[in-house]
Amino acid sequence: MASVFSSLRWLAALLVAGAQLLPAAHAQPAGELRIGYQKGASLLVLQKAQGSLEKKLAPQGFGVKWVEFPAGPQLLEGLNVGAVDIGFVGEAPPIFAQAAGAKFYYIGHDPAAPKAEALVVRKDSPIKSVADLKGRKIALNKGSNVHYLLVRLLEKHGLKLADVTPVYLAPADARAAFESRNVDAWVMWDPFTAAAEKQIGARVLADATGVADNYQYYLAERRFAEQHPQVIRAVFEDSVERGKWLKAHLHQAAELVAPLQGLPVDVTELSLRRYEFNVQPLSDDVIASQQKIADTFFELKLIPKAVSVKEASWKAAQ
């Protein structure tokens, strides 16, 4: 894991690179940073609750507008149409968006968190292994990080996506279908998985350990990244600081975040334990990991064309 100091050195390099791309970037007029987030993105929810980013950007004359989305694919659409400047999503949404022509940069990522996404069944389900899912209905959010998780889990147990019936539903609708027994299993990320475990006794059949990294990515609209690298630097400095505070004050952080997520404190705390919060630049290994997902989706005809993750990385633009 990169140290905080190495991350901050990268952020300094980001600022310099942005200035090289646009020499007058430092003279850009102040404005408003629009951040796309999901309630499940606990660090951003904490930053919003504490107002830490507003304080960080105030000396630059920038305000902050928080725009909530139900899941990553919708957030990427918002980024693509210019409704937000920066977003935070899982692995799969950027690939679907890039294949659809969206213009953005991968500007950073949080460490892998394979235990923060899982496939669950009801506590009284006769399903004992992933192999038992053949012919079953599985709820998931189409184009999200768990889309890839499902593909890999099935593959590991000798099945293909065609061997099951995916039921594409947003998180709230998926839980309703799961509880009403309209689907046999549900593949989801935290805090939704933690909520299902704690509140209705859902049983984890498998998480992503050994099959998917489950990186979380920071994305920026291309022009905004080029014109305002100093704002991006402030965002990541604040994310590093708040992430360190969160891990050192886990229960206190859960007490702040849980009401905003509409969840009990113990659910949020369980979710926070499964994530790491330490933004880093994209290494060649992380780019390769993301490219593998993109290639898998293209082979399965889930995206209409092959994409190059490297071409969308800020690293390549420098």
pLDDT in tens, the chain (318 residues): 344 334 444 444 444 444 344 443 344 446 899 999 988 888 999 999 999 999 999 999 999 999 999 888 889 999 989 999 999 998 988 999 999 999 999 999 999 999 999 999 999 999 999 999 999 999 999 888 899 999 999 999 999 999 999 999 988 999 999 999 999 999 999 999 999 999 999 999 999 999 999 999 999 999 999 999 999 999 999 999 999 999 999 999 999 999 999 999 999 999 999 998 888 889 999 999 999 999 999 998 999 999 999 999 986 445
DSSP state of 306: -
Task: Give every CB contact of residue 117 below 8 A, 6+ residues apart in sequence.
Answer: 90, 145, 146, 149, 187, 188, 189, 190, 193, 207, 208, 212, 214
> What is the structure's pLDDT at 315?
61
Q: Which domains does the chain have, with CATH numbers?
A: 4-111+215-317 (3.40.190.10), 115-207 (3.40.190.10)
> What is the structure's pLDDT at 213?
94
Give the SS3 label for residue 138. Answer: strand
Asked if residue 246 lies in contact with residue 46, where contact means CB atoms within 8 angstroms, the answer is yes
Smallest Cα–Cα separation from 79: which of 58, 96, 63, 56? 96
**Residue 278 CB: number of other CB atoms within 10 A?**
18
Instruction: Provide the whole-model pTM.
Output: 0.82
> What is the structure's pLDDT at 276?
87
> What is the structure's pLDDT at 30?
67
Smallest Cα–Cα separation from 250: which of 236, 271, 278? 271
Residues 308, 281: Cα–Cα separation, whole Å? 17
Could you give the angle at which helices 284-299 and 145-156 cross, rounded to 10 degrees? Answer: 70
Asked if residue 253 lies in contact with residue 62, where contact means CB atoms within 8 angstroms, the answer is no
